[in-house]
Structures are given as C-alpha cells and as structure tokens.
Amino acid sequence: MKAILLAGGKGTRLRPLTIHTPKPIVPIFDRPFLHYQLDLLKQVPEIDEVILSLNYQPRRIEEIFGDGRDSGLAIRYVVEPAPLGTAGAVRYAGESLHESVVVFNGDVLTQLDLASVIAMHRERKARATIVLTPVENPSAYGLVETDARGNIQRFLEKPKPDEITSNHINAGIYILEPDTFDRIPKDTAWSIERSFFPSLIERGETFVAHVYDGYWIDIGTPDKYVQVHHDIMDARYKAAPFASAPSAAWVSPQARVEEGAILQGPCFIDEGAVIKSGARIGPYTVIGKQCHVEEQAIVEQSIVWANCRISQDAVVRHTILGRHCHIGRNANLNHGSVLGDKSVVTDYSRV
Ligand code: GDD
Ligand code: MG
C-alpha cells in the first residue's frame, strides 16, 4: 500500500518562516515536521512506500529525506510542473496506482490509529474514507456533515459563520480508490475539497467518515506552530524528549549552559547552543542549534531557530525567530512577533 503526502503548498500563512523553509520541513524542536508524519505511517506495516507530492522548493525537502533510508520508509518524489491543487496533485502523484491509497495533508499531526481507518474503509467497501475531527471553530477548515451511519452528506470548504452546522471537520487524512481519479481533470489545478469530494456526494458513491477525537492539529499558522510545541512539551502529544519527562528543561549534551544561567521548564536547548551566565530561558522556549543567548538576556514562550544571537539584556517573548537572526543588546521583542531568517534587530529597538 502506498501513501501520498500532499506537501506542495507554499505555506503562505507561515510566512516569513516558509520563505526559505517549506512548511513540510519547518522544525518541530530539532526535527523537520514530516518526520512526525512518517513515524505515524511507519506504524502500518502494509505501507511500503511514501510518495511526496511536491511543488514549492522540492529540492530542500529531497535533501533532507533522500530515499527514505534513514526514516525507515521508502520515499519517492513527484514534483508537479505547476501547482495542481490538492486533487490535481493526488491524480498526478497517483498515476500508476491501482490499490487503495492513503493520502495525508502534509501539515497535520495526530496520534490516529491509521490501521483502524484502513480496516473501516475495507469493511464499508468505501470509494473514499475521510477522517473527521471535532474543532471549536470550523471556519478555517472543511466542514463535513454525515448521517447516522457515517455516510458523508455534505462537504463545505472554509464555511462562512452562518454556514456552520457541525463541529466536525476534515482532518486532511483520506483513504481513496485510484479508479476514481480519472474524474480529476489532468494538468489543471483542481481541489479535492471543493470539487472532488462534492462530486462523490453528488454521484451517491460510498463515501464515509471515520471520526477521531484524539490529538490532532494543523501546524499551518504561527499560533498552531507554537501550539504544537506546547502540546509536545506538556505531553499532550507524546514525542521525544518530553514524552517521558513532560515540562522538563531539556538540554542537549552538546549545548553549554553556563553557571548562573536560569532554565525554567519546559524548554528545549539544542546542540551547540550557548546560554551565558545570567541569561534566563523561560518556559515554553526552544533554543535552536548553535544559538547564543548572552548575559542577562531573557527568552520565554518563544521559538528560536538555529544560529541566532540574542545579545546582552535583550528580551524576547512570545516570538518566533527564523535562522541566523541577530537581536541586539537591550532590544525588546514582544507578543506575536515572527521574524524571518537573517533578521537584524538593532540595539535598544522595540518590536
Ligand atoms: N502537491 C501539492 N500541490 N500540494 C498542495 C497543493 C498543490 O497545489 N496545494 C496545497 N497542497 C498541500 C499543502 O502543502 C498542505 O500540506 C495540504 O495540501 C493542505 O493545504 P493547506 O493549504 O494546508 O490547506 P488548509 O489547511 O487551508 O485546509 C486543508 O486542511 C484542513 C485540515 O488541516 C483542507 O483539506 C481542509 O478541508 C482541512 O479541514
Ligand atoms: Mg493546512
């Protein structure tokens, strides 16, 4: 069985972070995001190959995953000549497939039992099965209505407030039958949510829902990107190194925390980082590889990518910093700043 990961979007809502780092490989702590999805797929022994459907900056992604040897799953890359939309991408990547295929949006993280979804798809002899999950506000997602037997009655992408009739949304995880792909037009952008799924309903095909109410998140906005780190630190989503030690102040053996520096967990200090004496790393903070946090600087509730320097007496709160940023002395960054790679904030600046 093959799995297609849709990982070709531009990640616009995560800009500026995604200008040089496509969304599928934004780091979650020290691992590119897709590793977490591959971990989930690996739990289904039947899945013997993952097809990464790419468009935006494909080389950057290929460089990291190669042929998949290190991830323990064979990986093949299909790069669209132009963005084909979510359905066009599935058709393009699934051209040679003849058996049921698992499809994942490349930005969702979950602890779903995928094998049970596949089993249900087979039991119901479905033409398509989609995973639904409850959310408070469906407006940023695809709203799905079902009948009592879990047959999908309506699929409405990005509903307006007065169209919200259910709190169940499309979790971006599907089991599909490739013989339905011929109704996706070739070589044009086509949406699985706005066109393909509604077409299954119109034709009365067996199109069923698998409701999952465990951990699920789409990491596609800065708030959600930060949230997923909190969830891992608090062990709501179980992943190393916090699964066994939630709320810990985790320091890589290759990092250097000077005497007199203060670490307040949960936090994560990656390899090669240096935390100088008198600096304070507050809760819910990630300090990336080779970063320097100088004397008396304070960093809290923030995610700092690799190779940044936070100078003496600077304060960085509720902020995301891309790679190679330089925060000058006494600078003050607060609530909700997201700075792209190589940003420079001069001494005493306030953001
Ligand atoms: N290959 C390829 N080509 N991939 C694409 C393209 C494309 O043209 N366009 C989008 N993708 C990928 C994105 O990289 C992402 O992994 C996935 O498809 C979904 O796109 P998003 O842009 O993240 O969509 P969304 O979050 O607004 O909505 C989707 O996900 C929600 C769940 O998180 C929809 O599927 C909603 O119905 C769903 O509720
Ligand atoms: Mg998304």
Tens digit of pLDDT for each residue in 178-191? 999 989 998 889 99
Angle at 268 between CA 265 and CA 272, to 5 degrees: 135
The alpha helices in the chain, defined as continuous H runs, are 34-42, 58-65, 85-93, 114-123, 197-202, 222-233
Confidence at 69, pLDDT banded by 50, 70, 90: confident
The predicted structure's pLDDT at residue 230 = 97
For every residue of 45-72, DSSP letters joined together read TT--EEEEEE-SSHHHHHHHHTTSGGGT
Angle between the 34-42 and 58-65 helix axes, to the nearest 10 degrees?
50
- Cα of 11 vs centre of ligand 2, distance in Å, is 8
Q: Which two tokens stand for residue 312?
A: 């003496």
CB 210, CB 131: distance < 8 Å:
yes
Lining ligand 1 with CB less than 6 A are 6-9, 23, 53-55, 80, 83-86, 89, 105-108, 141-142, 157, 169-170, 172, 193, 218, 220
Nearest alpha-carbon partner for 351 in 335, 109, 311 = 335
Q: Put residue 232 in one of left, alpha, beta given phi > 0 → left and psi -120 to 50 → alpha.
A: alpha
pLDDT tens digits, 41-68: 999 999 999 999 999 888 989 999 988 8
Summarised one tens digit per residue, pLDDT across range 176-232 is 999 999 899 988 899 999 999 999 999 999 999 999 999 999 999 999 999 999 999
**Beta strand pairing status for 337-339 and 49-54?**
unpaired
The mean pLDDT value of the chain amounts to: 96
SS3 state at 132: strand
- In degrees and rounded to multiples of 5, residue 320 shows phi and psi of -120, 130
pLDDT, tens digit, 9 for 90 and up, residues 5-24:
999 988 899 999 999 999 99
Whose C-alpha lies nearest to ligand 1, atom 11? 9
How far CA 227 is from CA of 216, 277, 284, 312, in Å, comes to 11, 29, 10, 28
Tell me which of 105, 107, 173, 212 to substitute to probe ligand 1's pocket, judged by most ligand atoms within 8 Å of the beta carbon.
105
Distance CA 3, CA 165 (A): 31
Task: Tell me, in angstroms, the distance from the centre of ligand 2 to residue 9's CA.
Answer: 9
- Ion ligand 2, residues whose Cβ is below 5 A away: 107, 218, 220
Q: What is the CA(26)–ligand 1 centre distance, in A?
A: 16
Helix H, strand E, coil C: the string for 283-295 is: CCEEECCCCEECC
Cis omega (within 30 of 0) on the bond before 266?
yes
Rounded Cα gap, residues 197 and 152, in angstroms: 9
Name all domains of the chain by residue range, CATH numbers in brackets: 2-222 (3.90.550.10), 247-345 (2.160.10.10)
The overall longest dimension of the chain from CA atoms, in Å, is: 68
The pLDDT assigned to 9 comes to 85
pTM of the model: 0.95
